[in-house]
Structure 1
Amino acid sequence: MVGEDGHGAGLWPSIPAVLRVMTGWFFLGIGLLNLAVEMDGGLTPAYLIFHVVLALGGMLLLTRHRIAPSRAGYLIAGPVAPAGLVLSALPVTQRCCLAAYPERRGFPYPFLGTGDGPHVDAKYLIIDVIFWGCAGLLLLSAVTLVERRLPERRTPVDLSHYRGHAEPRAYAATPDRTAENVGGLT
């Protein structure tokens, strides 16, 4: 059955790749642009960390096809986004945002305000989810690089009892090979 693109697969398999590339360029552009704009002295540590991680995450989204992580990489790096989001909401901070609430929680931007009743700011929550997702992608890439440097982990196979192919029997059937010519080789 021929799909919409004339090759049989349709357009649907390419949509995730296009979205990944567009998101990667967006994250890389926003990260680098905001770092360049704030180089004159407006960089706070949280702002710097956020935009460096965002730019690196964008770069990794653009090169995702070269990462090829294993199941262990996914198991190690997968929980980073939810765990980072939850753990960053535990300590109280005095950083920007949600100034009406005396207790602000979240990193890099406080998204949870407590003290006068709980309040979740959806905009900052989404920004923090993106940050922790990029941090998980960085960890996934690091785990993949470490796994590539490890020695092969397959169990050696004992081939001593293997009989092999027909070549040894063929050589035994014609012991004198002096008159053979194999494409100019003697």
Structure 2
Amino acid sequence: MSAVGNVDPSTDHATDEDEESPGLWESFGSALRLIVGWFCVAIGVLNLMVELDRADGTPDSAYLLFHFILLVGGVLLVSFAWIGVKPGIPGWSAGVAVMIAGVVFSALPANETVCCLTAFSERHGYPFTIMARDAGSRWHVDSQHLLADLLFWGYMGLVVGLTVALTRKVASREEDAG
């Protein structure tokens, strides 16, 4: 027996354990989810500690919120199997809607955050500035901050999607019991 299954060609019968074991792609997806989750937990904790220990004593609220959500999203990714609920179509739909709406609607109003593209007079996006311009000039889109905003709003969507899934699971249990 090896780590990937029975490699002995003389046995051609399938056992119950072989039929229920995850396939290669499912295992790859789980490993990738755990790696990304632990990475986000580590970066979230590290950057929260650094930001809270600023020399001037006034942390940037958008930066703090981003890394808090990064930490929460990482914890959710790591504990996804333990939570034991699959979002399903309603959960994924709500999560994707939150992600898209968050990026779009946070980019509409101008912001005054401490971080990002401060050389421009007009800045849009939350938690990081993703679009900016000076009066009468062309727009500048910052791709790195756009990816960070997508990650932030994606994790917010994950929280909403899992909340929808857990709510539906509790509601179905109450229907079955009642």
Same topology, TM > 0.5: yes
Aligned pair 1:136/2:157, yes or no? yes
Alignment of 1:114-133 (within 5 A): 114-115=133-134, 116-133=137-154
Aligned to 2:123, what secondary structure does the other structure show?
strand
Structure showing greater Rg? 1
| Alpha-carbon spacing, 1:52–1:67, altered in 2? closer, same or farther (3 Å) | farther
| Alpha-carbon spacing, 1:14–1:56, altered in 2? closer, same or farther (3 Å) | same
Q: TM-score, normalised by structure 1?
A: 0.73
Alignment of 1:29-40 (within 5 A): 29-40=42-53
Aligned to 1:104, what secondary structure does the other structure show?
strand
Whether contact under 8 Å (2:106, 2:125) holds in the other structure is yes
| Alpha-carbon spacing, 1:113–1:20, altered in 2? closer, same or farther (3 Å) | same
Unaligned residue ranges in structure 2 (runs of 5+):
7-17
Deviations 1:110-162 (A, max 9, x none): 0111332111111101100100011001111221222222145879xxxxxxx
Q: TM-score, normalised by structure 2?
A: 0.76
- How many residues were matched structurally? 152
Letter in 1 for 2:120: Y
The RMSD of aligned alpha carbons is 2.3
Unaligned residue ranges in structure 1 (runs of 5+):
156-186
Shift, 1:29, TM fit: 0.9
| Alpha-carbon spacing, 1:12–1:72, altered in 2? closer, same or farther (3 Å) | closer
Alignment of 1:60-75 (within 5 A): 60-65=76-81, 66-75=84-93
Of Structure 1 and Structure 2, the greater helix share is in 2
Higher RCO, Cα 8 Å, sep 6+: 2
Find the counterpart in structure 2 of residue 107 from structure 1. Answer: 126
